[in-house]
Amino acid sequence: MAQTSVDAYHIGVDDLVRVSVWRNPELEVTVPVRPDGRISVPLVGDVLAAGRTPDEVAKDVQEKLAAFVRDPQVAVILTELRSHEYLSRVRVTGAVRQPVSIPYRPGMTVLDAVLAAGGVTEFAAADRSDLYRKDGENTRSYSVRLDRILNRGDLSTNFNVAPGDVITVPERAL
């Protein structure tokens, strides 16, 4: 399974952003991204922020401010990441002690997520676990040999997880 790289963060609705203009503190503003995806900036008015990177928004504001301020230097800084609260989570379900939805962290593996769920129950068929990952319009499934990871130290299926992944641990048939 290929390693996923972290792409540039795209601003989302409800994120809190600070727009600052060098040498113009009166133009600094900290605002939430509205449901329409826009933010309001002094002198400039509304600027589309949702779905764009902070650098893209800064360039847009900078171009529009040039009519009012000579050579404006604009920075857009994310102060609170609220839009991706559920998109950037990893979920662990099935025969685990405490099914969980946990925030994704770079470097997190299947084992980290399962341990956050309290481990597997005595009824788990741990070697039949699966990792589900959305890949565009499709969902891909990867077999996880969780029993081998937990009891033998075999890390060959201890995949790195990605935001939005779901790990399922089935129960064994009695």
Confidence of residue 161 (pLDDT cuts 50, 70, 90): very high
Query: Cα–Cα distance between 59 and 75 in angstroms, integer?
Result: 9
Question: What is the SS3 assignment for 70-111?
Answer: CCCCEEEEEEECCCCCCCCEEEEEECECCCEEEECCCCCEHH
pTM of this structure: 0.62
The letter for the amino acid at 19 is: V
Q: Which domains are seen in the chain, by residue range?
A: 16-80 (3.30.1950.10), 89-169 (3.10.560.10)
Whether the predicted pLDDT of 5 surpasses 70? no
Query: 145-155: b or e for each residue (b if 16 or more CB lie within 10 Å)?
Result: bbbbbbeeeee
Note the pLDDT tens digit of each residue in 39-84: 999 999 999 999 999 999 999 999 999 999 999 999 999 998 888 7
Note the pLDDT tens digit of each residue in 17-51: 999 999 999 999 999 999 999 999 999 999 999 99
